[in-house]
């Protein structure tokens, strides 16, 4: 099966993406690996795609999204890196690949994903839920079950489709939803792409919910997953081979949740320690921490989230300022200042 696998990120996550693509290359040297980047390289960083562990780069600005500058401005960094996943998947369905797989940049493979290819022979859409086993303590239910209820039953750090039939229909639907409705707006029932996919089992046929505990291991499901290392060195989760781990929120928050639910399951900490070392080795000092070229106006002033929300809610502002990043005379930023916003 011809597989295209991609990840969406900015340069501040290039270190994590390098680790992901290195592990993908190890287990799947025949897959086409694509970096989808919504960013521009920071000054002083010489980006050479040929030296990276992926086959090619696709820049978000080249996806053909109408009124790209205005569309981009409506989103913060997490929202836009999620939103571009839909347009790229739709286009990838016409690239000649038989299957398209998305993985978040902060994931890493620990085993072959060949079972996914086998499942895609019979199913057109594969999703992994946050939880595949019920929690039984009030604390875990509050932290994990209710969190999934708010943010979405499925974790969209992974999704796989066949480029035909229901998979292609899903890609078209997902593209439409993410172009117009990919925001962190939980009061209105939206959490980027995830809440939308709660609808997938109802809207599409040939959907497989992957309940194997070796897929998409993360802090939110460690309360029901035991990690072990076998005599031959193989890592297992509830007795099944570990396929990929989702190292979400690398830093104090991720450490706290991992410690809380990893408990005395010591292989969990060994895996996290390995990942931190890999990310450190893949980090380029020329990339400022939290770098994102589209996080500021053209004069370098940071863009407030409220400015983005106001812009996306008002068609008149979108028409008046097609490139709201420009801080020149008569631009959106000057209008905000005049309005006292």
Q: What is the pLDDT of residue 251?
A: 73
The residues of the chain scoring below 70 in pLDDT are none
Determine contact, residues 124/207, Cβ cutoff 8 Å: yes
User: Distance (Å, rounded) from C-alpha 64 to C-alpha 61?
Assistant: 7
Comparing CA positions, the residue from 260, 278, 295 lying closest to residue 108 is: 278
pLDDT digits (tens, 9 = 90+) for 109-126: 999 999 999 999 999 999
Q: What is the pLDDT of residue 178?
A: 98
Q: What is the pLDDT of residue 105?
A: 98
Beta bridge partners of 191: 184
User: Distance (Å, rounded) from C-alpha 181 to C-alpha 194?
Assistant: 11
Range(s) of the chain covered by CATH 3.90.550.10: 3-281
**Architecture of the domain made up of 3-281:** Alpha-Beta Complex (3.90)
pLDDT digits (tens, 9 = 90+) for 1-20: 999 999 999 999 999 999 99
3-state secondary structure of 130: coil
Beta bridge partners of 209: 127
Determine contact, residues 35/52, Cβ cutoff 8 Å: yes
Determine contact, residues 219/249, Cβ cutoff 8 Å: yes
Please state the φ and ψ torsions of residue 35, each to the nearest 5 degrees: -100, 120
Q: Which two tokens stand for residue 120?
A: 């895609």
State the DSSP string of 1-61: --EEEEEEE-GGGHHHHHHHHHHHHHH-TTSEEEEEE-S-PPTT----GGGSSSSEEEEGG
- Give the chain's length: 341
Secondary structure letter of residue 302 according to DSSP: B
The structure's pTM equals 0.95
Contacts of residue 304, defined as CB under 8 A and 6 or more positions apart, other chains included, come to none
């Amino acid at each position: 099966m011809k597989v295209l696998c991609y990840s969406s990120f900015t340069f501040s996550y290039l270190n994590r993406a390098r680790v992901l693509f290195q592990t993908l290359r190890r287990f799947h040297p025949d897959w086409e690996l694509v970096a989808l980047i919504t960013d521009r390289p920071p000054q002083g960083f010489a980006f050479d795609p040929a030296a990276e562990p992926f086959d090619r780069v696709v820049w978000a600005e080249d996806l053909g999204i109408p009124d790209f500058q205005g569309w981009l401005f409506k989103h913060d960094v997490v929202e836009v890196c999620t939103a571009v996943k839909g347009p790229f998947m739709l286009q990838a369905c016409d690239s000649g690949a038989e299957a398209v797989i998305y993985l978040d940049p902060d994931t890493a493979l620990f085993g072959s994903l060949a079972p996914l290819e086998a499942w895609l022979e019979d199913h057109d859409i594969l999703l992994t839920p946050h939880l595949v086993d019920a929690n039984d303590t009030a604390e875990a239910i509050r932290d994990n079950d209710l969190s999934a209820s708010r943010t979405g039953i499925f974790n969209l750090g992974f999704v796989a489709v066949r480029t035909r039939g229901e998979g292609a229909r899903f890609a078209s639907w997902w593209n439409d939803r993410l172009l117009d409705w990919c925001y962190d707006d939980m009061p209105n029932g939206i959490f980027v792409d995830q809440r939308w996919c709660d609808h997938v089992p109802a809207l599409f046929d040939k959907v497989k919910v992957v309940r194997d505990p070796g897929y998409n291991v993360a802090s939110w499901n460690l309360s029901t997953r035991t990690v072990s290392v076998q005599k031959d060195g193989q890592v297992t989760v509830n007795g099944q081979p570990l396929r990929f781990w989702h190292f979400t929120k690398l830093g104090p928050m991720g450490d706290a949740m991992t410690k809380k639910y990893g408990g005395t399951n010591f292989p969990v900490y060994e895996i996290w320690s390995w990942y931190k070392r890999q990310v450190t080795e893949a980090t380029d000092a020329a990339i400022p921490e939290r770098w994102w070229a589209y996080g500021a106006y053209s004069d370098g002033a940071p863009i407030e989230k409220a400015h983005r929300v106001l812009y996306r809610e008002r068609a008149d502002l979108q028409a008046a300022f097609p490139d709201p990043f420009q801080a020149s005379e008569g631009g959106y930023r000057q209008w905000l200042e005049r309005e006292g916003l």
